[in-house]
Amino acid sequence: MLGHSLTTITVKAGLAARVIERDPQRAATEIAQVEDLARQALTDVRAAVSGYRDVTLGNELAAAREVLRAAGISAILPGAIDSVGASESELFAWTVREAVTNVVRHSRAHKCEVRLSEHAIEIVDDGVGSAATDGNGLTGLRERVNDAGGRLTVEPSSALGGFRLRVEARA
């Protein structure tokens, strides 16, 4: 939707620029439509961003259970999250979202475990393991962790043979 709106804005702005001298009224109409489309696109972006802000650790763990189950991956998840502080909770929620997405997409794992403590979260799988490269998701997570003053580690897992992603929050 947003991509379509931005494409339309670009086309209409270009049209207005081409006709402004010979048909100023049409150019004014096109620019008014560009303004309306831009306002709607801004509303759409704000709605999307506020949806991203509603990320909670409990919801992400519940979603992880379902996504892993649907992918045929056995999930070992923490039963309680009340030991996690409010400042770590959202960061850990993003961590679960990104790590589980990567497990499902790339690992070919049979088992995935989420380990949680007051100031750290670790996601370990028994998948194929290989050289990890930061895609958009890991890059974004790394930025979030750095902004929070924490540390992100992504490495092969010696315990299960797949990958280990660990976020340590500032204590």
pLDDT in tens, 118-136: 999 999 999 986 655 667 7
Which residues lie below 8 Å from residue 119, measured CB to CB, with a gap of 6+?
A: 85, 88, 168, 169, 170, 171
pLDDT in tens, 25-65: 999 998 998 898 888 888 777 777 665 556 899 999 999 99
pTM above 0.85, yes or no: no
What separation, in Å, do the N-terminal and C-terminal C-alpha atoms of the chain show? 41
Which residues lie below 8 Å from residue 171, measured CB to CB, with a gap of 6+?
A: 119
